[in-house]
């Protein structure tokens, strides 16, 4: 695994977020350096999708697959965090 940083935060609703940044991570860029994952209430990786056109977040705890959202800017990470907290 390459250079980078990982942060995780769990909220009062028992769900969480992890944020990965660094040049060697899968889906980041200089202007959007974060990749975000959503942790479900039962501590599994959920599905997170950020729609940049509408600035909306979709989260699925019971999706058939898990998925992270890559290439996020700081303000987009904040919107995803807020969405997770409202579940």
Q: Which two tokens stand for residue 79?
A: 């919107």
User: In total, how many domains does the chain have?
Assistant: 1
**What pLDDT digit, counting tens, does each position of 73-85 carry?**
999 999 999 999 9
Phi, psi of 36 (to 5 degrees): -120, 135
Q: Can you tell me the distance from the alpha carbon of 39 to that of 24, in angstroms, rounded to the nearest whole number?
A: 22
Taking the whole predicted model, whether its pTM rises above 0.75 is answered as yes
> Residue 45: which region, alpha, beta or left (left: phi > 0; alpha: psi -120 to 50)?
beta
Asked whether 63 and 21 are in contact (CB, 8 A), the reply is no
**What pLDDT digit, counting tens, does each position of 28-69 carry?**
778 889 999 999 999 999 999 999 999 999 999 987 888 899
- pLDDT-derived band at 23 (thresholds 50, 70, 90) equals low
Q: Can you tell me the distance from the alpha carbon of 61 to that of 63, in angstroms, rounded to the nearest whole number?
A: 6
Q: Is residue 2 pLDDT above 60, yes or no? A: no
**Residue range(s) defining the domain that contains residue 57:** 5-85
């Amino acid at each position: 695994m390459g250079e980078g940083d990982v942060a995780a935060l769990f909220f009062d609703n028992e769900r969480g977020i992890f944020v990965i940044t660094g040049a060697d991570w899968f889906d980041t860029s200089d202007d959007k350096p974060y990749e975000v994952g959503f942790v479900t209430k039962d501590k599994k990786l959920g599905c997170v999708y950020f729609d940049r056109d509408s600035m909306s977040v979709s989260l699925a705890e019971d999706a058939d697959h898990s998925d992270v959202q890559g290439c996020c800017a700081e303000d987009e990470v904040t919107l995803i965090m807020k969405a997770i907290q409202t579940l």
